[in-house]
Amino acid sequence: MAAISIHWHRRDLRLFDNAALSHALQGGLQVLPLFIFDTDILHHLEDPDDARVTFIHREVCRLRDELRGHGSAILVKYGRPAEVWAEILKEYEVAAVYTNDDYEPYAAKRDAEIAALLGQSGIPFHRFKDHVIFERQEVVKADGAPYVVFTPYSRAWKACLMNSVLDTTTESGEPLTSCPAAFAPHLCTPFVEKFLKTPQLPVPDLSEMGFTPSSIPIPPKEVAQGLIRTYGETRNYPSVEGTSRLGIHFRFGTISIREKARKSIHLSETFLNELIWRDFYAMILANFPRVAEGPFREQYAAIPWRDDEEAFQAWCEGRTGYPIVDAGMRQLNQTGYMHNRVRMITASFLTKHLLLDWRLGEAWFARKLLDFDLASNNGGWQWAAGCGTDAAPYFRIFNPTSQQEKFDKHKAYIKQWVPEFGTSQYPPPIVDHKFARERCLSTYKAALAS
Instruction: Say how far apart CA 247 and CA 253 lie, in whole Å.
Output: 10
CA distances from 117 to 76, 110, 219, 315, 342 (A): 19, 11, 38, 45, 45
Task: In the chain, count H helices and then E strands.
Answer: 19, 7
Instruction: Say how far apart CA 53 and CA 78 lie, in whole Å.
Output: 13
Exactly one of 287, 333, 340, 399 is catalytic; name it.
Answer: 340
Reference 211, options 49, 80, 36; nearest CA is 49
> Exposed, middle or buried: residue 45 (CB in 10 Å: 0-12, 13-18, 19+)?
middle
Exactly one of 315, 381, 383, 417 is catalytic; name it.
Answer: 381
CA angle 345-340-218, nearest 5°? 135
Instruction: Say how far apart CA 25 and CA 17 lie, in whole Å.
Output: 12
Exactly one of 138, 171, 259, 305 is catalytic; name it.
Answer: 305
Can 381 be counted among the known catalytic residues?
yes
E strand or H helix that includes residue 176? strand 175-180
386 sits in the region (left: phi over 0; alpha: psi -120 to 50; else beta) called left
For residue 136, the one-letter residue type is R
Can 383 be counted among the known catalytic residues?
no
3-state SS, residue 69: coil
Task: Please list the helix, strand and coil fractions of the chain in percent, rounded to the nearest 5, in that order.
Answer: 50, 10, 40
Can 340 be counted among the known catalytic residues?
yes
> Exposed, middle or buried: residue 396 (CB in 10 Å: 0-12, 13-18, 19+)?
exposed
Residues 6 or more apart whose CB falls under 8 angstroms from that of 109 comprise: none
Exactly one of 8, 277, 383, 417 is catalytic; name it.
Answer: 277
Can 364 be counted among the known catalytic residues?
no
Q: Are 129 and 19 in contact (CB under 8 A)?
A: yes
Instruction: Say how far apart CA 279 and CA 131 lie, in whole Å.
Output: 9
Can 277 be counted among the known catalytic residues?
yes
Can 305 be counted among the known catalytic residues?
yes
3-state SS, residue 127: strand
3-state SS, residue 77: strand
Exactly one of 8, 358, 383, 417 is catalytic; name it.
Answer: 358
Exactly one of 274, 362, 364, 417 is catalytic; name it.
Answer: 274
As annotated, the active-site residues are 274, 277, 305, 340, 358, 381
